């Protein structure tokens, strides 16, 4: 099976590159090359028989990126020869090429032909012919967008198949195809009346087949029927099927922590362990799971991992020298504590190890350098067990010194902190804003995931509306700036977005996004979002 895309090392075998010198001086040339139809092989021929096709232009031209730009639909079986002779581009069929009977062919040159002086592209350069009595004139158009981001997908193959078998995208090359532009738009022209399966594909190995694990695909749920009265316009959602979860890196040689790195974020992963009286804390960080542990017995044990019904694994945690570890390890606050703080929130201090106990009596708070201890409380963050939160009625525009005396907190190893000091200013409330989010058009029988991100794409909060047709929530004293809402229709109620799966005929879960207006200081912003 031949594919038109030509490997780079072979380009010079098929493209004659005449060295021309662009003239200097004068106004800038902004006009694209114009096809000289009288000097070119006539397009739109019927009963076409295989022969050389020549396209001549009104000025010197150059060929560019033939590998990606020139595509023939339906695909040819053998590689053609594409060469440049002065102002003429020649397209020659391979001697062994046999054209299909009663078929309309389109040679689309994309942006392959440019003028020599300024690189202006000969736009919409196509050559069409038919081996039958007429030129097919139907077309299919539409857009391809990324299913998760909703952004246009460029240089994606959109393919039509007359064979309606489910396996066709893996076993046969398409009958018609085109590529998407920068806006994700495609247009397949000169198509015959028939019924077609439709796919979009990011073809990693340039063989027109869906046969590589990381190839992205989109598919129309139903075959399209194309006839003289049909005007087909499609929107295809491009996705990469979920890969099987795998552990790609495993560190078990340090007592007290097992580090597991996965090939993707292990969403929904459930961990358990063989109990020997140990204390265990799980800490997820994107694609990494840290399992912190403290053994009461110096012997090995097993860690069990499961995700849904598709992933099971066991990690062997060997017995290591606990005493040597405890002699050298230290409990320390992480660097980079904030110099300003939202007075409506507890002040967080992150540590290098998970915490187990704290003693509020060893907390000191000083306001505006006044040497009087003020009463505050300590709490551990339930979601981040390495973070201690100091609760106190902070006053606006005041400077605070917080001190944790030695032994104020202990980690899971029983190691206590040394003295910790930190100074910060409680910001004025008028420097923050308030945001109210209102969702409408929800289906009470459906499950949803609602995510709020800041301008740096950091997840601020995740919510799970369920059993309601409207949902609202107010966020007070938020930092000013822009935010983004992401609403996922969680069909399988696993509290995460799932891409599609072609074999299971599953489209990607629907996702809706909304960029908010900029939240300004001392301002109330209402954000409405509807999926109706």
What is the pLDDT at residue 376? 76
What is the pLDDT at residue 213? 85
Q: Is the backbone peptide bond immediately before 74 cis, with ω within 30 degrees of 0?
A: yes
Q: Are 449 and 508 contained in the same domain?
A: yes
Q: CATH no. for residue 316?
A: 2.60.40
C-alpha radius of gyration, the chain, whole number: 32
What is the pLDDT at residue 135? 96
Q: Which long-range contacts (CB under 8 A, 24 or more apart) does 52-56 make?
A: 52/90, 52/91, 52/92, 52/93, 53/90, 53/91, 53/92, 53/107, 53/127, 54/88, 54/89, 54/90, 54/91, 55/88, 55/89, 55/91, 55/113, 55/125, 55/127, 56/87, 56/88
Place of tokens 């009958």: 175
What is the pLDDT at residue 49? 96
Give the pair of three-digit tokens for residue 43.
């397009």
Q: β-strand 420-426 against 363-367: which pairing, if any? A: unpaired
Give the pair of three-digit tokens for residue 10.
């072979």
Domain boundary among 130, 153, 178: 130
What is the pLDDT at residue 23? 52
Give the pair of three-digit tokens for residue 416.
């206590």
Q: Are 126 and 14 contained in the same domain?
A: yes
303 phi/psi in degrees, rounded to 5 = -110, 130
Q: Are 254 and 194 contained in the same domain?
A: no
What is the pLDDT at residue 379? 78
Torsion region of 119: left, alpha or beta (phi above 0 gives left; psi -120 to 50 gives alpha): left
Cβ atoms of 481 and 455 closer than 8 Å: yes
∠ Cα 97 98 103 (to 5°): 125
Please give the Cα distance from 330 to 411 (Å, whole number): 9
| Residue at 93 is within a domain | yes
Please give the Cα distance from 208 to 178 (Å, whole number): 11
Q: Are 196 and 276 contained in the same domain?
A: no
Query: Whole domain around residue 517: which residue ranges?
Result: 433-530
Q: How many domains does the structure of the chain reveal?
A: 5
pTM as predicted: 0.76
pLDDT, tens digit only, all 532 positions of the chain: 344 443 333 333 333 444 445 555 556 777 899 999 999 999 999 999 999 999 999 999 999 888 778 888 888 889 899 999 989 999 999 999 999 999 999 998 988 999 998 899 998 899 999 999 999 999 999 999 999 999 999 999 999 999 999 999 999 989 898 889 999 999 999 999 999 999 999 999 888 899 998 899 999 999 999 998 878 999 999 999 988 899 999 999 999 999 999 999 998 899 999 999 999 999 998 999 999 999 988 899 999 999 988 899 999 999 999 888 988 999 999 988 999 999 999 999 999 999 999 999 999 999 886 655 677 777 777 667 899 999 999 999 999 999 999 999 999 999 999 999 999 999 999 999 999 999 999 999 999 999 999 999 999 999 999 999 999 999 999 999 999 999 999 999 989 999 999 999 999 999 999 999 999 999 999 999 998 6
What is the pLDDT at residue 68? 74
Domain boundary among 102, 130, 158: 130
396 phi/psi in degrees, rounded to 5 = -60, 145
Domain boundary among 78, 98, 130: 130
Torsion of CA 392, 396, 401, 407, to 10 degrees: 20
């Amino acid at each position: 099976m031949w594919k038109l895309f030509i490997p780079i090392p072979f380009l010079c075998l098929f493209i004659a590159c005449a060295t021309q010198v662009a003239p200097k001086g004068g106004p800038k040339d902004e006009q694209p090359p114009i096809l000289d139809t009288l000097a070119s092989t006539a397009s739109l021929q019927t009963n076409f028989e295989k022969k050389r096709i020549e396209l001549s232009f009104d000025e010197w031209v150059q060929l560019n990126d033939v590998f990606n730009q020139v595509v023939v639909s339906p695909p040819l079986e053998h590689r053609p020869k594409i060469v440049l002779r002065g102002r003429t581009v020649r397209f020659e069929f391979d001697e062994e090429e046999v054209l299909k009977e009663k078929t309309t062919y389109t040679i689309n040159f994309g942006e392959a032909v440019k003028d020599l002086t300024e690189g202006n592209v000969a736009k919409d350069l196509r050559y069409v012919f038919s081996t039958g009595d007429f030129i097919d004139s139907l077309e299919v158009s539409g857009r391809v967008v990324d299913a998760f981001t909703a952004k246009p997908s460029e240089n994606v193959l959109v393919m039509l198949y007359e064979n309606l078998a489910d396996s066709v995208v893996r076993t046969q090359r398409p009958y018609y195809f085109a590529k998407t532009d920068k806006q994700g738009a495609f247009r397949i022209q000169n198509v015959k009346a028939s019924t077609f399966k439709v796919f979009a594909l990011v073809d990693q190995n340039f063989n027109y087949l869906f046969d590589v694990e990381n190839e992205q695909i989109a598919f129309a749920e139903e075959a399209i029927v194309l006839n003289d009265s049909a005007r087909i316009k499609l929107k295809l959602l491009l996705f990469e099927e979920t890969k099987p979860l795998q552990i790609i890196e495993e560190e078990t040689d340090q007592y007290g922590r097992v580090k597991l790195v996965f090939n993707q974020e292990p969403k929904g992963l459930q961990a358990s362990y063989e109990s020997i009286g140990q204390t265990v804390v799980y800490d997820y960080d994107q694609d990494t799971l840290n399992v912190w542990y403290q053994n009461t017995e110096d012997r090995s044990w097993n860690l069990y991992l499961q995700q849904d019904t598709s992933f099971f694994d066991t990690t062997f945690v060997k017995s290591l020298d606990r005493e040597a570890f405890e002699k050298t390890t230290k409990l320390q606050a992480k660097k980079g504590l904030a110099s300003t703080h939202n007075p409506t929130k507890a002040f967080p201090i992150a540590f290098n190890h998970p915490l187990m106990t704290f003693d509020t009596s060893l907390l000191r708070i000083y306001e505006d350098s006044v040497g009087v201890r003020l009463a505050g409380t300590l709490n551990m963050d339930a979601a981040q067990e390495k973070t201690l939160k100091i609760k106190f009625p902070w006053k606006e525009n005041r400077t605070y010194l917080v001190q944790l005396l030695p032994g104020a907190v202990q980690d899971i190893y029983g190691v206590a902190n040394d003295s910790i000091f930190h100074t910060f200013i409680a910001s004025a409330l008028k420097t923050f804003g308030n945001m109210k989010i209102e969702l409408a058009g929800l289906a009470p029988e459906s499950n949803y995931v609602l995510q709020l991100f800041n301008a740096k794409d950091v997840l601020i909060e995740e919510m799970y509306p369920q059993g309601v047709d409207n949902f609202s929530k107010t966020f007070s004293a938020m930092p000013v700036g822009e935010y983004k809402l992401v609403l996922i229709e969680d069909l399988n109620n696993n509290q995460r977005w799932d891409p599609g799966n072609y074999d299971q005929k599953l489209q990607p879960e629907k996702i809706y996004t909304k960029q908010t207006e900029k939240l300004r200081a001392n301002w109330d912003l209402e954000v409405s979002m509807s999926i109706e």
